[in-house]
Amino acid sequence: MNVPPVTLRRVFWRCLFLQAAWNRRGMQNLGFAYAIDPALRRLYADPGKRREALRRHLATFNCHPYTAAAIVGGAIHHEERVAAGQEPPGAPLAFKQVLQGPLAAVGDGFFWSGLRPFFGALAAVGTLALGWPALVAALLVYNAFHLWLRWTLFRAGYRSGDEVVVRLAALSLPAWASRLRDGGAVLCGVAAGAGALSAAGRISPWAGVLAIGAAVAGIVALGLRARLLPTAYAVMAVGSAVGAATQVFRGGR
Amino acid sequence: MIALARIDERLVHGQVLVGWVPHLGARRVVVADDEAARSPLARAAMSLALPPGVEASVDPLNAVDWEALGRSSDPVLVVLRDVAEAERALSAGLTPGRVAVLNVGNVHYALGRRQVTPSVFLSGAEVEGLRRLAAAGFRVEIRAVPLDVPIDLAEIERRWNAAG
Amino acid sequence: MDYLFVAVVAGLAAVERKGFLQAMLSRPVALAPIVGFALGDLPGGLLLGPPLELLWLGAVNMGASLPPNEALGTAAIAGGAVLAGRALGTGVTPAVAVLAVAAAGMLATLGRTTDRAIEEWNVRLAARAEFLLERGLPAAAMRENLYGLAAPFAVSALLAPAAAALVALVVPAVLRGFPALNAPLGWGWAALGGLAAAAGARAFRSARGIGLFAGSAAVTLAVGWLLGGTR
């Protein structure tokens, strides 16, 4: 027996709540069970069997919230076979346990350290240059792409089960992530340059020099593992002090 | 050389590849785990997330050539499943002479385990095991990601006793 | 009324950040303008969003390790700055922005602590779901998942307006008492912008990142110079 498309869509919607009850012991366990429950209800008419299935999906689970969609899809793929008596009841759990770490790594590497910060930097630079329309455009593009990919992963997991790994490998996301990281660093450079030019125009050329100096100091300090917030306080204080000194100097002249 | 030996129930995941690999400048990740080595799915999955220029292998613990890894010119990151596996690895040749630091990253909650850090739960036997590994010469620490403050064995024991 | 807006927006952002969706709406670049818009000062929010985004570009929830809560920090900073700017009649100036970041930035660190407490609290929800399941109530058990959205909403909806109120109280007092601070603080804002860009570049952890960052900054400066001179 197959899970009907309308139920699959319902499960996908619930995948968006995967981390609603993220907890220290089971992590995304409750979220996972919550997401897959509509499919289990379809597959197991007998309440005892449904409860049994839900219980196994309450085992500790943690993955990236986007790429986990592939595992939810794949778990339904395996549950269909369990319900049909073709696989042992442990198969969906084994599938989840093997894939959670690697798919978390894919998600953390591509989305959290590549695509999302890239779009964050893009939206920041866009806002500085063009105002809110650029911000809205960047968010629309990011979300159209990310939701499409989430859905695609979910469907690929459901249709191909273990083969989803091959499909994912074909996307070569780690290579894209490294390009996005380079692109993001370039965008941050543009932000530094634009910020300095704007300070130079608004205040004085020396304020532009100060902004560049703060960027250089930031690169060095953070490279030496200085903590972010204390560094920010120090930079704001020193920057303001330099501003005050310039005023005193001008006033005295 | 082996830059770090890490105990992580989740084996290869984001904290390892996005956090530790760039931090250590590792070119190679060695997963020494019988269970993962037996599963074709696990072996295929481990290579999914590898950044360009980093290679990974999944081998049964006894099949790993620890001496060759110790002599490797590029830094190697070794991943083990739990404390018991780390003790097995020690007797198989993953000695303190080959890697100074034994890092504990993720050990999930299970019956009989007490919470030591947000991501590490240990049983009494596992604390004993860590004590033996420290006595063997490893610097034992709990640290999920490189930027976290490391927690040493004394602090692990203190927290474990306090959690009882 | 304004604080109610701050509370609702901050609460929803906390939910969007972890429990539901993750569509960048709780990232500083989006959240600061949203707060500004809700309080009737979109330009103020747009001034704050980009530097805060770059500053916290590395604030990423990876596995079970928690980053500072950039959304809580942003909601408090943006809410406080807009209300302070309104009290002064100047809107969000660079001086107001710098003081708001200084006064409410620490809330992001506090937010990490509350996030941890929420994860501990949620253990009860998971345990309760198991209990309900054993009692033969699967639907009720699964509903426990959604109850997990309440705690982050409540914590952010309480902390963000409180911190914003502090900013709205202190910042106008400081700038009225010492109007001479306005100009120097503008320099501080320029410096913070530079640091934020550097923090963003560092967050990408790319081997070539620092070179690319320096190169593109130099090119941007050169182009700007050629197009408009230094002024």
Residue C137 Cα distances to A104, A151, A170, A252, angstroms: 31, 30, 42, 79
Give mean pLDDT, residues A145-169: 96
Considering only residues C110 and A251, tell me which one the structure prediction assigns the higher pLDDT: C110
Q: Does C137 touch chain A (CB under 8 A)?
A: no
User: Per-residue pLDDT for B14 more than 90?
Assistant: no
Q: Does C218 touch chain A (CB under 8 A)?
A: yes
User: Per-residue pLDDT for A252 more than 60?
Assistant: no
CA–CA min distance C1, chain A (Å) = 25
CATH architecture of structural domain B2-162: 3-Layer(aba) Sandwich (3.40)
Q: Quick one: pLDDT at residue A45?
A: 95
Give mean pLDDT, residues C148-163: 98
In this structure, the answer to whether residues A139 and A184 fall within a common structural domain is no
Domain boundary among A122, A140, A170: A170
Q: Quick one: pLDDT at residue B49?
A: 84
* Tens-digit pLDDT profile for residues B22-52: 899 999 999 999 999 999 999 999 888 888 8
* Tens-digit pLDDT profile for residues A83-116: 999 999 999 999 999 999 999 999 999 999 999 9
CA A4 to chain centroid, in Å, comes to 29
In this structure, the answer to whether residues A166 and A176 fall within a common structural domain is no
Q: What is the span of the domain harbouring residue A207?
A: 172-253
Q: Quick one: pLDDT at residue C231?
A: 44
What residues of chain B lie within 8 A of the CB of A175, using their CB?
52
Considering Cα of B72, then B143, then B33, then B93, what sign does the dihedral take?
A: positive
DSSP code of B39?
-
Q: What is the span of the domain harbouring residue C36?
A: 2-229
Strand partners, B2: B76
Domain edges within chain B:
2-162
In this structure, the answer to whether residues A64 and A92 fall within a common structural domain is yes
In this structure, the answer to whether residues A184 and A152 fall within a common structural domain is no
Q: Quick one: pLDDT at residue B134?
A: 97
Nearest to A16 among C21, C195, C209 (CB): C21
Nearest to A162 among B11, B18, B41 (CB): B41
Give the pairing of strands B28-32 and B76-80. Answer: parallel
| Cβ–Cβ below 8 Å for B119 and C205 | no
Best of C60, C61, C65 to mutate (most B CBs within 10 Å, chain B)? C65
Tell me which chain B residue has its CA closest to the CA of residue A224. B147
Quote the tokens at residue B6.
């890490």
In this structure, the answer to whether residues A96 and A194 fall within a common structural domain is no
CA–CA min distance A109, chain C (Å) = 9
* Tens-digit pLDDT profile for residues A70-87: 999 999 999 999 999 999
Quote the tokens at residue B9.
């129930």
* Tens-digit pLDDT profile for residues C171-228: 999 999 999 999 999 999 999 999 999 999 999 988 799 999 999 999 999 999 998 7
For chain A, the average pLDDT equals 96
**Pair C19, A19: CB distance under 8 Å:** yes
Nearest to B19 among C62, C116, C119 (CB): C62
| Cβ–Cβ below 8 Å for B118 and C66 | yes
In this structure, the answer to whether residues A139 and A189 fall within a common structural domain is no
- pLDDT band, residue C69 (cuts 50/70/90): very high
**Backbone torsions φ then ψ of A43, nearest 5 degrees:** -80, -35
In this structure, the answer to whether residues A16 and A138 fall within a common structural domain is yes
Domain boundary among A155, A170, A185: A170
What is the total count of domains within chain C? 1
Q: Quick one: pLDDT at residue C205?
A: 86
Instruction: Write the secondary structure of C26-86 as one string of H (helix), E (strand) and C (coil).
Output: CCHHHHHHHHHHHCCCHHHHHHHHHHHHHHCCCCCCECCECCCCHHHHHHHHHHHHHHHHH
User: Per-residue pLDDT for C229 more than 80?
Assistant: no
Residue A118 Cα distances to A94, C75, C115, C131, C204, angstroms: 34, 22, 25, 43, 8
Which helix (H) or strand (E) segment holds residue B106: the answer is strand B101-106
In this structure, the answer to whether residues A143 and A211 fall within a common structural domain is no
**Chain A with chain C: Cβ pairs closer than 8 A:** 379
**Pair C50, A124: CB distance under 8 Å:** yes
Q: Quick one: pLDDT at residue C230?
A: 46
DSSP code of B31?
E
In this structure, the answer to whether residues A185 and A232 fall within a common structural domain is yes
* Tens-digit pLDDT profile for residues B79-107: 999 999 999 999 999 999 999 999 999 99
What is the total count of domains within chain A? 2
